[in-house]
Chain A
Amino acid sequence: MAISADDPVFFATISEINAALKQKKFSCVELTRAFCDRLERLGPRYNCLALSLREQAIRKSKEVDGDLKKDRQRSPLQGVPYAAKDLLSFAGQPTTWGAAPFAAQVFHTDAAVITRLAKAGAVLTGKLSMVELAGGGGYRSAGASLQGPGLNPWDRTRWSGGSSSGSGAAVAAGLAPYALGSETSGSILTPSAFCNVTGLRPTYGLVSRAGAMALSWTMDKIGPMCRSAEDCGLVLQAIAGKDSKDPASAGKNFYFAPQFVRPFADMVIGYSPADWNDYPEPAAQPALQQALEAFRQLGAKVVEAELPDLPYSAVTGTVISAEGSAAFETLIRSGQVDRLADAKQIAGLKAGLEIPAADYLRAMRIRSLVQQAFREIFVTVDVLLAPARNGGAPKAAEPLDAPRPRANAEPRARGLQGLIPAANLAGLPALCLPCGFAEGLPVAVQLVSRPFGENTLLRFGLEYQTRTDWHRRRPKL
């Protein structure tokens, strides 16, 4: 059966697509062709397509159809198309890392996560754009990408977020049921929040990074960006697990089993009123306040929490800059770095080579304090809840570091501001949940839990998404 351009399958969840395949509503080849057509047709509109893998995808989909015919069930992802951030290698095809100097780079092996998804029967349809080198040198412009500025399907004058820009836009526009992204400090959460996507940043070490671009060896994580918390759980189960090829691998598997998480009545949510009353942009406040209220209704105890006064941004900046510049030392010293699109990024990468060892070590020592602080917080709290970002996506044509308005010019408390860099420093998992709109732009909350607390996050996410339908909203394309 042919799939029409306006078929609801383009916005269906993984379980819905998998069920439709089993019911033979369409074949995997038909489904794959439909998603490839859509990705190739609409991807350039959002500058989110780095590379179509149509030929390989059709080949894989024929294999899946063969398996389904013989009733060989591989996983809930079997036959479901997906796309991946172009920081992940796919053998024999360009892996550009979003950067002009690497436009012709080809690896001969697949990234570990792509191998795992292939074994699960998933069909890779393409590679998605990203901020060049995942923005490790710091960047000022949405145009810091080989494919141009990541444009937001909710409003093409707005940025889709970074650095997993293409992953956010592709899922939001129904170009792929889900996508893989990566986060060093905010790169899954930010595009998820800006594009109305449910994104999961896994615990550091849970998902292998073998075959992925290294920006910060001690902070990089790979995770799913999906239509729902359930989809995030299904994808995480497939991609997580021990890998001797990743020295940071924690040697743990992940089984998506939110039903075994303690009941909400036994759990505690930590939040800070300042995060909801003072820091957000005024337009985003109603949606955020409504989300906070919805979480209060879940039955968990809600208590106030605050991060200790530590320089999270300075530490994150120092660690990423030092490690990123070391990772790209050859690029920088060869002068090829000057071919990057964003002048601030070029300067940041060059300057990163000059960071003294004493600064890096001080940052890593403070990082131990950050870890300790979270250990103390999670003695009494199960999850921390905060806005994912303080407002909607910024304009793509304006500098990304321009100041944004706040509900209160003089916030009364520190709250959980800095939660993204802080939790990334501590390697903690986070879930981004769409929670409404501000002037037509998506707004989202984030939940953070203790290491390997993904099922707890997903339990909260599942419940929130049974009570709300923000994650089901689609942009007018």
Chain B
Amino acid sequence: MTRRALGVKLAIATGAQAQPTPDAQQLLDQARSSQVRNRETMQRVSLPLDIEPAAVFKA
């Protein structure tokens, strides 16, 4: 078995992640940008310190 074939088998066996394709990398960058936009949008909300997270949420 070649080193490359062994590597592929090991990757499958361990479930190691392959390098993303350029398209996948672009989508990942877009997802990260979306998170940044969400953060910036949420940071515009004034939150007094007594507003606690709805940690254990009940309706």
Q: Hey, which bits of chain A sit against chain B, CB under 8 A?
A: 137-138, 203-205, 218, 248, 250, 310-311, 314-315, 317-318, 321, 333-336, 338, 343-344, 346-348, 350-352, 354-355, 359, 361-369, 371, 426-428, 451-452
Contact = CB atoms under 8 A, between A and B. Distances in A.
A334 B16 CA distance: 6
Interface string B26-49: 011011101101110111110100
B6 interface: no
A369 B58 contact: no
Contacts of B41: 311, 314
A469 B57 CA distance: 38
A346 B27 contact: yes
A205 B58 contact: yes
A376 B38 CA distance: 26
Contacts of B5: none
B31 to A, nearest CB: 4
Given A348-B31, A362-B47, A367-B54, A343 B24 contact: yes
Nearest to B40: A314
Contact of A314 (B31, B37, B57): B37
Nearest to A247: B56
A451 B58 CA distance: 10
B1 interface: no
12 contacts: A138-B34, A205-B59, A344-B31, A346-B27, A347-B30, A350-B28, A351-B34, A362-B45, A363-B38, A364-B54, A365-B51, A366-B45
Nearest to B44: A311
A311 B53 contact: no
A310 B51 CA distance: 15
A152 B16 CA distance: 38
A310 B28 contact: no
Contact of A354 (B23, B32, B42): B32
A91 B1 CA distance: 42
Which 5 residue pairs spanning A and B have beta carbons closest together?
A: A427-B59, A334-B15, A364-B53, A351-B31, A347-B27
B17 interface: yes
Nearest to A347: B27
B52 A368 contact: yes
B45 A451 contact: no
A451 B37 contact: no
A452 to B, nearest CB: 7
Given A361-B53, A363-B42, A364-B53, A347 B28 contact: yes
Given A335-B17, A366-B42, A366-B47, A317 B54 contact: no
A364 B55 CA distance: 7
A362 B42 contact: yes
B58 A250 contact: yes
A317 B34 contact: yes
Contacts of A426: 59
A369 B45 contact: yes
A347 B23 CA distance: 10
A368 B32 contact: no
Contacts of B30: 344, 347
